Amino acid sequence: MTENSSTAGNGTDDTRGAHGDGRPEDQTPGTSPADAEKDPSDWVTGGEPATGPQRSYLSTLAQEAGEEVPEDVTKAQASEEIDRLQDKTGRG
C-alpha cells in the first residue's frame, strides 16, 4: 500500500476551497449575500439603546459637525445618524 506523496498526511482537502476554510476561491469574508448590509430599521436589536461605542462616536461626529447629540437614541437611530454625520464631516 502506497499513498500519494503529494497529498498524503498533509491535511489538505481539495473540497475546502483555496482559503482552507470552505469558502470558494473568489469569496472573501464579508462578501456573501448574508453579510450584505441591512437597513438599520430591519435590525432585530435596532430598537435597543445605542451601544457605548456608538454613543461615543456619534458624540465625536456631532461635535465636529456642530450638532447636538440626542439623549435617547436606539442602535438603529445611532447607526443612521453616524452615517449622516460621516457624510457631513467627510469621515465616511
Give me the mean pLDDT over the 56-75 stretch: 94
Q: Indicate whether 23 belongs to any domain.
A: no
Instruction: Mention every residue, 6+ apart, whose C-beta is less than 8 A from residue 86.
Output: 61, 92
- Check residues 39 and 72 and name the one with the higher pLDDT: 72
Residue 1 pLDDT: 57
| Angle of the 75-89 helix axis to the 52-65 helix axis, nearest 10 | 30
Whether 91 shows a pLDDT value over 60: the answer reads yes
> Alpha carbon of 14 to those of 17, 20, 64: distances in Å?
6, 9, 52
Confidence check: pLDDT of 45 > 60: yes
In a domain, 45, yes or no: no
Question: Is 18 contained in some domain?
Answer: no
Q: Is residue 37 part of a domain?
A: no
Whole-model pTM above 0.75? no
- SS3 letters across 45-67: CCCCECCHHHHHHHHHHHHHHCC
Domain assignment of residue 64, given as a range = 51-89
Residue 20 lies in a domain: no
Number of domains in the chain: 1
Mean pLDDT throughout 66-83?
93
Q: What is the pLDDT of residue 10?
A: 56
